[in-house]
Amino acid sequence: MHTLLKSAIGLAALSLSLQASALNILLTNDDGCRAPGIDAVYQALVAAGHQVTLVGPQNDSSGIGAASVVNPGQALAVTQLAQGKYCVGAPTGYTPPAGKNSAIGTPVDAVNVGLDLLLKDNRPDLVVSGTNFGDNVGPLTQMSGTVNAAVRAMFKGVPAVAVSTGIDLHLISQDPQAGYLKTLNAMDDTARFAAKVIERAAAIGAEARRVCDTSGGKAKAQCATNVLGLPGTTGLNINYPALEAGQVTGVAFAPIGDWGNVAFAPQQGADGVIRVNLVPPPTPTDEQMQADAYQLSLGNAVITVIDGNMTASPLLQAQAKLILGDLTP
């Protein structure tokens, strides 16, 4: 059995008796620094005993993906809402350069400000992003500001957890207000579930560090384990359904798939205007049914392991070298 897997099994056996210490957490999102979702998670993490610094975008940045400031010298406005709570946005009067799209005060900008400035001398153990209004599963993860804020943190060497609360798409299309309230009402349960996940994972991570320290650094698998009990800076993407706690089916562990209930497609109307519209998703295949979006549609809370490293496995790197190795510039 793989050494890391054996270590994980051994640590999991101890998890019920472990208690993790309080973590230093940077909390962000993409719905905005004042959004109800980030407040729900803030309250849940503080109630669990963690030290939390909130650094979110000034405005709603949903669907903005990994966009961030790329112009050297670009000013950012960082305002303090309260002790330990900050908003990151564009300076007053900012207008984009002529002929250029630009994003100022994005979720990635908030993570950068949090890690490189506000918490530079008190580096967090973990970054948490969310909870988002709407699920981030399947193809939505690529465009998600929530998920990409977590990915940015992992690129910068800090493990991260993205958290999202699902939408009842049928209800919100029929009755927007009722659909909005259904997701809103599930945010506290989402936040508590996320805090529970972090507590359990952090207990495993703490035990791994103890084993590493006891071994004098010789227990390589444990020494490579992060605060979530996972390798390196690996993190989690958590999606919770828009249901009352008693209606949630269970917890599913599923990969990100290429199918989702929410599907966008550009379409040209009779007036000649091209619009991006919601379109019915195709019938999922058996493989797609095992992935995150379908499992969420069954009423499960879904946990997916994610990694900020976009590089493929060493095996695939070697395969590419065999295919392309004789090329010259």
Q: Counting Cβ atoms within 10 Å, is residue 15 exposed (0-12), middle (13-18) or buried (19+)?
A: middle
* pLDDT at res. 238: 97
* pLDDT at res. 20: 58
Q: Residue 10: pLDDT above 80?
A: no
Give the pLDDT mean for 190-210.
95
- pTM, rounded to two decimals: 0.91
* pLDDT at res. 28: 98
In a domain, 329, yes or no: no
pLDDT range class, residue 1, cuts 50, 70, 90: very low
CB 227 within 8 A of CB 159: yes
Q: Residue 19: pLDDT above 80?
A: no
pLDDT (tens digit per residue) in 226-272: 999 999 889 999 999 999 989 999 999 999 999 998 888 899 999 99
In a domain, 106, yes or no: yes
| Residues facing 277 on adjacent strands | 265
Instruction: Tell me which amino acid residue 137 is.
Output: V
CATH number, domain at 276?
3.40.1210.10
> How many domains does the structure of the chain reveal?
1
Q: Residue 33: pLDDT above 80?
A: yes
Full residue range of the structural domain in which residue 136 is found: 3-324
How much of the chain, in percent, has pLDDT values that exceed 90?
79
DSSP conformational letter for 247: G
Q: Residue 123: pLDDT above 60?
A: yes
Mean pLDDT of the chain: 91
- Alpha-carbon span 252 to 289, nearest angstrom: 12
Q: Residue 18: pLDDT above 60?
A: no
In a domain, 272, yes or no: yes
Tell me the two tokens of residue 263.
Answer: 């599907």
pLDDT (tens digit per residue) in 41-65: 999 999 999 999 999 999 999 999 9
* pLDDT at res. 96: 81
In a domain, 35, yes or no: yes
Question: What is the sign, positive or negative, of the torsion defined by CA atoms of 111, 114, 117, 123?
Answer: negative
pLDDT range class, residue 310, cuts 50, 70, 90: confident
How much of the chain, in percent, has pLDDT values that exceed 70?
94
Question: Which pairs count as long-range contacts for 75-81, CB under 8 Å and 24+ apart, including other chains?
Answer: 76/104, 76/105, 76/109, 76/113, 77/105, 78/113, 78/117, 78/118, 81/33, 81/34, 81/54
Q: Residue 36: pLDDT above 80?
A: yes
* pLDDT at res. 70: 85
Q: What Rg do the C-alpha atoms of the chain give, in angstroms?
A: 21
* pLDDT at res. 15: 47
